[in-house]
Structure 1
Amino acid sequence: MSNVPSVRESDKSMPYFPLANLTQDGRSDGKEATATCFCGAVQLLFPIDGPGFLKSFVCHCTDCRKITASMFASNFSIADSYLTHVRGEDNLTQFGQSHTIGRQGNLMTNYFCKTCGSLMYRRGSGYAGMYICRLGTVDDFNLVEQSLRPTIEQFMKDRVEWLGAPFGEMKHSEGLFMPDDQ
């Protein structure tokens, strides 16, 4: 058994950086934090609150299922001018398509680390002005438990039944969550 604490056992008042990539240089200072791919080649820096931090959400859409190879995705969105590529922007490869949910005909481009394959973010012509990033890439695991905790669960119509009741105290939307759904 490892002597490294689990996320549940960690001190929630402190950043928690478990062994999760090869570089171990993630940071979180209360204003900004990093998100790093599995191998450490790509690292992003982003604000953890407004105006650059837009929202944190769980998505059950069929695109998110396929792109994550899971039954849902946990995401956060950052306004364009607030996301910084600390390193590895040249190590990103992309795959795009315009046959996507919600916004047919708009190109959705996915950006992956060329080395380890981690999906770092998505950009869409139908979602101009933002990066849609993955909560699983955030280096400070306690940040995801607290200030980045998802507040929206969207595409409930595509949610698998075996997940049980909707996740916690979130706003729920049958499709794409829009601010006027509040």
Structure 2
Amino acid sequence: MTSQWLFTALVLLVGLERVAELVVSKRHAAWALAHGGVERGQGHYPVMVGLHTGLLAGAVAEVWLADRTFVPALGWVMLALVVLSQALRWWCITTLGQQWNTRVIVVPGLSLVRRGPYRLVPHPNYIAVVVEGLALPLVHSAWVTAIVFTVVNAALLTVRIRCEDAALRELATPDPRTAEVAR
């Protein structure tokens, strides 16, 4: 089996991991909305989905169409970073429990999570996203995909993190009018 096929299998496994995330996210979002949650940032969500789908498709397409080679010194290090980013992502998911989903949903009355990776940095999941977005394509030298994803993702994360920070401030100091409605 060629390294291109092995890389394609790796990307498919990452894609399956994304599907698992979406299943968990959908269940958690339904819970949050059923408990009075209010969604924020709906406008950037489809862009985020498209970008992450593009990362997977672009990495495979570049490897095959540009005939990228596997460079062991780069590829093995990048693979280790991909695995570590997945571990960090699932640490974030398990730490937040039902409060985690791929959307920004504020549930009145819940407290901010300050344990697990959240005791160290405010948005640890985005560290996983940044590392994976750079490392996954570079496992098989797909440097164009790595650069394009990283640049576009930086712009998207600027919007996303501002949205989340505003929602988290709302959670930390709820609007009295919202609190009245939630009672």
Same fold (TM over 0.5): no
Relative contact order (C-alpha < 8 Å, sep 6+): which is higher? 2
- If each structure's helix is expressed as a fraction of its own residues, which one has the higher value? 2
Q: TM-score range by the shorter chain?
A: under 0.3
- If each structure's strand is expressed as a fraction of its own residues, which one has the higher value? 1
